[in-house]
Structure 1
């Protein structure tokens, strides 16, 4: 159902004659960079915090926070001038390139605001229809393969960057506050409910996601326990 909705969004909602494909997934995004560790939502919501516009910003505002919507080119100057007290950008591999560690030394990667970043490859609809079925299949298989390739690539790149940040750049990692996840989830539910009420297609997509989650989460929840045990054994000395 997800791909059908994805195509429907472009062709019916945006009314674009295209054939879209998902490409290069990366994530989750980090909670962010700070001048000192945050220990509670009360501390977090007092900060002037740079966060992505749209749903992430709406949720933080619902929590009582102070979202600052700044473009990528504005982030470093704003941090240097003290206009912002903290920032979420992307994740270790991207953040290290921007140089956020030169300004902020405390970092948490346990963010909930954007579980995945994902790009699109969008093909002109007329050109797509002109392709023979075998060529269309080649494109479809190639794009599917790229998803798995990108997931493995970004896990490796983020892991390498995080190691450099913590061993060479003086960055200290810290866990998200215990009350962060419950507060974020509660606010997210309120924000999503508002969009559901006014946008039928938004509701259609969200209902599809809920149906999928109700099916797969019971399974993935159990397998995640095993993953934690295995990772602990793999890194134990």
Structure 2
């Protein structure tokens, strides 16, 4: 009788466990994502849409993500706090926008005179970069993921030519991240303005110059109508956007959905890099053919040298003031020495040896 009862009890427990698993497998998890960008924003917003679609398909409909653009949540540079506080479960933004709140976030977007996109991806995935980023964000109940790279960004649109370091004095320029601090050291006034307000700020002389991305997004913004001097880049050689997730919310989901979300983010990030590259190539041809008044410029050697010196001084100051900053900076610099040697004989070597053929 006891044996029979135990068997029945075990059977009942098995049925309950199976039923619970079936219910869990059928449960739909609904997440909210806040993005820094406006609705239907090209390339950046496309990356978010791709991620949401892939997460839905791979989870067989168990993972639904609602996206609120900046016009909805009204805080384009507040995504960090929106996700940290739990008002949103996920975010898509850029790490360096939050350097005023958490200074060590700025190193994970891009650094002046730093790594290009393949080098930076290698550092993040195989050089310890992701671990360092995790440490910085863990203190704020956040889990960070790479969110798409623009590749090398252009140096910006200027109303007037930059012929010397003196021309940077009192120049009011939209430029975020570490590069803004570098320019400030040389007498410029860096400001950060939401994407949707950039053209108006330039048109109304609120700023004298701005950098945005590159041909992939700049052409449609119309900056060339106001500021004809288009300078090559130095400040953002590999601008990585980011997805962030509320840690507590993430951990409440089944492990398979956590894995699906991570894969969807990684695939969307890769797709954005390729999409950005393709759009830049296409729009660059359009600029050359349809807008001959755009004057493509390289900053004078004197200016580049001054920017590099200011950048090096700032890195030393940051490292001396903050042990975590020192750890990140050291990691990036050591990895770049290693990976750049290979870039020089592979990518750069290929371009040099085939130039002019």
TM more than 0.5: yes
What are the superposed Cα offsets for residues 198-232 of structure 1, whole Å, 9 maximum, x if unpaired? 22111111111122112212111222332323663
Aligned to 1:160: 282
Is 1:186 the counterpart of 2:313? The answer is no
What's the CA shift for 1:97? Answer: 2.4
What's the CA shift for 1:7? Answer: 0.9
Which entry has the higher C-alpha Rg, 1 or 2?
A: 2
Aligned to 2:296: 173
* In structure 2, distance between residues paired with 1:130 and 1:7: 19
What's the CA shift for 1:54? Answer: 4.1
Aligned to 1:111: 233
Aligned to 2:137: 10
- Please identify, of 72-81 and 169-178, the stretch whose mean Cα deviation from structure 2 is larger: 72-81
Aligned to 1:201: 324
Aligned to 2:162: 38
20, 29, 32: which one pairs with 2:144?
A: 20
Secondary structure (helix, strand or coil) at the match of 2:243 reads strand
Change (3 A) 1:231 1:129: farther
Aligned to 2:189: 67
Structure 1: unaligned runs, 5 residues or longer: none
Aligned to 2:44: none
What's the CA shift for 1:131? Answer: 4.0
Change (3 A) 1:78 1:122: closer
What are the superposed Cα offsets for residues 113-165 of structure 1, whole Å, 9 maximum, x if unpaired? 22232222222323433444444333333333333222111111112222222
Aligned to 2:266: 144
What's the CA shift for 1:30? Answer: 1.3
- 1:122-133 matches, within 5 Å, as 122-133=244-255
Assess if the C-alpha contact under 8 Å between 1:51 and 1:70 holds in 2. yes
- Please identify, of 187-196 and 139-148, the stretch whose mean Cα deviation from structure 2 is larger: 139-148
Aligned to 1:96: 219
Secondary structure (helix, strand or coil) at the match of 2:355 reads helix
Assess if the C-alpha contact under 8 Å between 1:107 and 1:174 holds in 2. yes
What are the superposed Cα offsets for residues 177-198 of structure 1, whole Å, 9 maximum, x if unpaired? 2233322111101111111122
- Please identify, of 74-83 and 156-165, the stretch whose mean Cα deviation from structure 2 is larger: 74-83
Assess if the C-alpha contact under 8 Å between 1:22 and 1:119 holds in 2. yes
- Please identify, of 188-197 and 124-133, the stretch whose mean Cα deviation from structure 2 is larger: 124-133
Assess if the C-alpha contact under 8 Å between 2:173 and 2:191 holds in 1. yes
Structure 2: unaligned runs, 5 residues or longer: 1-127
Q: So what's the TM-score if we normalise by structure 1?
A: 0.83
Q: So what's the TM-score if we normalise by structure 2?
A: 0.57
